[in-house]
Amino acid sequence: RKEVEQDPGPFNVPEGATVAFNCTYSNSASQSFFWYRQDCRKEPKLLMSVYSSGNEDGRFTAQLNRASQYISLLIRDSKLSDSATYLCVVNSNNFNKFYFGSGTKLNVKP
């Protein structure tokens, strides 16, 4: 079983739509969780960390569900510029390793 799993998509949504991605992780001891955004042929960039209590940054909301071992990313009022691949990253601090999901591709269309 993979450490981190994501639906590869693509998710094709119209501008203004709300879209959500989930990411499941297998190691219950995982400590830190992040969402990264990767544009085509570019390096991943940190979008937001995911806190236990959930956190919001503008149109983006991230949540953590430890009981079910998944994190989620909600994007409201989608913009064309949101089109990218969203990577889920999980860190097990005990082992100092970061595990990546395969990424979920989002296409926001006019």
Partner 1 sequence: GAVVSQHPSWVICKSGTSVKIECRSLDFQATTMFWYRQFPKQSLMLMATSNEGSKATYEQGVEKDKFLINHASLTLSTLTVTSAHPEDSSFYICSAEALGRRYYGNTIYFGEGSWLTVV
Q: Burial letters for 98-108: b for 16+ Cβ neighbours within 10 Å, e otherwise? A: ebbbbbbbbeb
Instruction: Give the distance from CA 12 to its chain's centroid.
Output: 16
Distance CA 62, CA 78 (A): 15
> Minimum CB separation from partner 1 for residue 76, in Å?
23
> Minimum CB separation from partner 1 for residue 54, in Å?
12
> Minimum CB separation from partner 1 for residue 1, in Å?
16
Q: Which is nearer to partner 1, 40 or 110 (CB)?
A: 40
Q: Which is nearer to partner 1, 75 or 88 (CB)?
A: 88
Contacts to partner 1 by CB under 8 A: 31-32, 34, 41-46, 49, 51, 87, 89, 91, 93, 96-98, 100-103
